[in-house]
Amino acid sequence: MDFQPWWLIFVPLLFALGWIAARVDFRQMLSETRSLPNSYFKGLNFLLNEEPDRAIDAFVEVAKLDPETTELHFALGSLFRRRGEMERAIRVHQSLLSRSDLPQADREAAQHELAQDFLKAGMFDRAEQAFESVLDTGYALQAVRALIRIYEAEHDWPRAIDTVKRLRALVDEPVPQLVHYHCEMAVGSMSEKPPAFDAAEAALDAADNAARELRKGNGSAASEVRIAMLRAKLAAMQGNVEGQRKYLASVLDIAPGYASLVAAEILEAYRKLGQATEGLELLRDHYSRHPSLDVFNVVFREIRSQHGHRPAWAFAREALRAQPSLLGLDRLLEAELASGGTRPLDYADVNEGDASAADATPSPSAVLEIAAGADFSLLRSIIHRHTQRLDRYSCQVCGFEARHFYWQCPGCNSWETYQPRRLEELR
């Protein structure tokens, strides 16, 4: 194609159009900048200087001067909520909702933000209403999850279960706490006066079904343990000791680590059936394969009850050497004192059949040998002072420590975050 001289006209024309466009954009930018209140720039300056309190005050002033700044209202509401100023956050979002010209998308967003404000403020009834108002919007999934948390906090287990079903209709994901919701309903039925045994049985059947679904997705065995423990409790309340024994013993197979929660009850069930010796052998065998502090304590006490203090101390010496534990030593001294063992330790009792005891290295398992002749109460008072902080369960999520085992952490409300082992055993 031949070059045409008139094409050169386009070059200056393009430059002129570019210059005009730049001038128009620059003037528009200057116009918009001049229209912004000075408080806006003050707020930005405070943010840059890491003065959030003064920045918020400046932005609040901007919002008052220009009510149309929707994004700024949302930002302020979120800031107030994060800072715990719930009353101010609620007012900001309510002021947005009061605007008749607010677009539908922004109205739904403001309603969802307001629901979160109510939830964080602990106003569960108003939060529930606010979340229900956005169930037909794009915030349905977040709203359903929030409603589940609300019903959990209120211990409204039937509504929590119904809401989980609604969640499953929105997204296909496992809900491990569903098993515990049914278990909580079973606990409630057994606590009624008189106990509602049929309702408790139905709740545990529903819990079994939920646990079976979880098992397909490699769910935790903790929920199955709880179901077995509750079935054992229900059987005991109905006078079915054999059923109680069967369900409790099944825990040893379902999750051996949870034996510490049921060891004492297993032994008691065997004792009621006149089979205390068999119960002791079962726990002793389980301890040899899965040692734990609480099972050790139960076995030691029962050996002492059935066979006397020498076999009991022989078991304790062997167990503490294999699993050194100051807390274990504290427990057996407590048991000995409760049994009337206030006399000083007899060196022959402690070291019978152990010629190498004199050469043992000082350790928690060797304290008894080193302190032969000491008084039980003195030994226990010294050791107990150091073991009190170790005799606790700990949440794996928030670290909340408790003397009792919980299926739901009292600190962060997470489910199945407590291991059935004391702090000393986890270290």
> Residue 44: what pLDDT?
52
Residue 363: pLDDT band by 50, 70, 90 thresholds? very low
Range in 10-14, 179-183, 225-229, 251-255 the model is least confident about: 10-14
**Contact, 276 vs 306, CB < 8 A?**
yes
**Contact, 154 vs 143, CB < 8 A?**
no
> Residue 111: what pLDDT?
95
> How high does pLDDT run on average in the chain?
80
Chain centre to alpha carbon of residue 185: 19
**Contact, 109 vs 74, CB < 8 A?**
yes
**Contact, 301 vs 284, CB < 8 A?**
no
> For residues 140, 144, 147 and 151, what is the CA-based torsion angle, rounded to 10 degrees?
160
Our separate counts of H helices and E strands in the chain read 22, 2
> Residue 408: what pLDDT?
93
Find the helix or strand (DSSP H, E) in which 337 lies.
helix 326-338
Peptide bond into 410 cis (omega under 30): no
For the chain, what are the domain ranges? Answer: 174-274, 291-391, 392-427
Two structure tokens written together for 43? 């707020």
Alpha helices in 195-240 (DSSP H): 197-216, 222-237
Range in 77-86, 161-170, 340-349, 360-369 the model is least confident about: 360-369
pLDDT exceeds 70 at position 407: yes
247 by Cβ neighbours in 10 Å (0-12 / 13-18 / 19+) ranks as: buried
Range in 185-199, 250-264, 410-424 the model is least confident about: 410-424
Residue 134: pLDDT band by 50, 70, 90 thresholds? very high
Cα–Cα distance, 292 to 323 (Å, whole number): 9
**Contact, 373 vs 344, CB < 8 A?**
yes
In the predicted model, what is the mean pLDDT of residues 256-285?
96
3-state secondary structure (DSSP) of residue 413: coil
Q: Which range in 141-145, 169-173, 306-310 is most confidently predicted, on average pLDDT?
A: 141-145
Share of the chain above pLDDT 90, in %: 47
Residue 149: pLDDT band by 50, 70, 90 thresholds? very high
Q: Which range in 100-109, 162-171, 225-234 is most confidently predicted, on average pLDDT?
A: 225-234
In the predicted model, what is the mean pLDDT of residues 99-110?
87
310 by Cβ neighbours in 10 Å (0-12 / 13-18 / 19+) ranks as: middle
In the predicted model, what is the mean pLDDT of residues 267-272?
96
In the predicted model, what is the mean pLDDT of residues 386-391?
72
**Contact, 72 vs 62, CB < 8 A?**
yes
pLDDT exceeds 60 at position 233: yes
In the predicted model, what is the mean pLDDT of residues 150-169?
94
Please list, in sequence order, all residues whose beta carbon lies within 8 angstroms of the beta carbon of residue 383, skipping any fewer than 6 positions away.
Answer: 326, 329, 330, 333, 367
Cα–Cα distance, 323 to 425 (Å, whole number): 9
Global confidence as pTM: 0.76
For 286-299, how does the pLDDT look when each residue is reduced to its tens digit (9 = 90+)? 999 999 989 988 99
In the predicted model, what is the mean pLDDT of residues 42-52?
55
In the predicted model, what is the mean pLDDT of residues 370-393?
65
pLDDT exceeds 80 at position 7: no
Which tops the pLDDT comparison, 422 or 363? 422
In the predicted model, what is the mean pLDDT of residues 388-398?
85
pLDDT exceeds 70 at position 356: no
